[in-house]
Amino acid sequence: MKPGTGKTFRPIGPTTYLSPIPAVMLGCADPENGYEANLITVAWTGVVCTRPPMVSVSIRKSRLSHELIRRTGEFTLNLTGRSLCRAVDFCGVKSGRDVNKFEACGLTPIPAPPLTHAPAVEEAPAYLCCRVKSVQELGSHDLFLAECVAVDVDEKLLDENGKLCLNKAKLIVYSHGDYLALGRKLGSFGYSVRKKKKPIKK
């Protein structure tokens, strides 16, 4: 291992300091117990498998959404753009036990088939329909592992060839207390090893 350049690092203790992370709104419901549609903002979520397509979500046991997902075994993950930033923050600090977040934020709950309970957010640029496969108790949070059984995207995000252009969604991320807008494109997957095209000789 080569010696460093002298750059100084300061230890800050063990903590979850990954950054940035997604800022998504999770939709869930339990009509049989009086909750037609609920939202919670989650940032501790990620991709865990491609075949089958699976994601993970970590939620505190005290949250209403934890209770609803435990009972129904399903939820939606709604991607968020800049226009939804205020709603994202609201849904992260308010409890569904006290307020209807869809109504308070002026958002529209829509069915998310093949799910039977959890709603999606019509104003979202895209959403993932998820069914829980297992729950792991970790400590402060429980980890829900879920399979993505469907994904729906706003048609406006597709180009003339049907390619999904998520840059049009103006997505936001979360970074330790701050919401940030994604910036300019720096490259595409594999660009560091891709061979440069030779100029065509005229």
Kindly list the averaged pLDDT for each block of 10 residues, start to end, along the chain of length 202: 83 89 96 93 96 97 96 98 97 95 97 97 98 96 98 96 93 94 89 80 66
Q: For residues 37 and 47, what is the distance between their CA atoms, to the nearest angstrom?
A: 25
DSSP assignment, residue 63?
S
pTM score: 0.91
Distance of CA 96 to the CA centre of its chain: 19
What is the gyration radius of the CA atoms in the chain, in angstroms? Answer: 20
With residue 92 as reference, give the H or E element that holds it.
helix 85-93
Q: For residues 119 and 26, what is the distance between their CA atoms, to the nearest angstrom?
A: 9
Write down the pLDDT at residue 183. Answer: 87
Q: How far is CA 11 from CA 8, 14, 17, 125, 198, in A?
A: 10, 9, 12, 39, 48
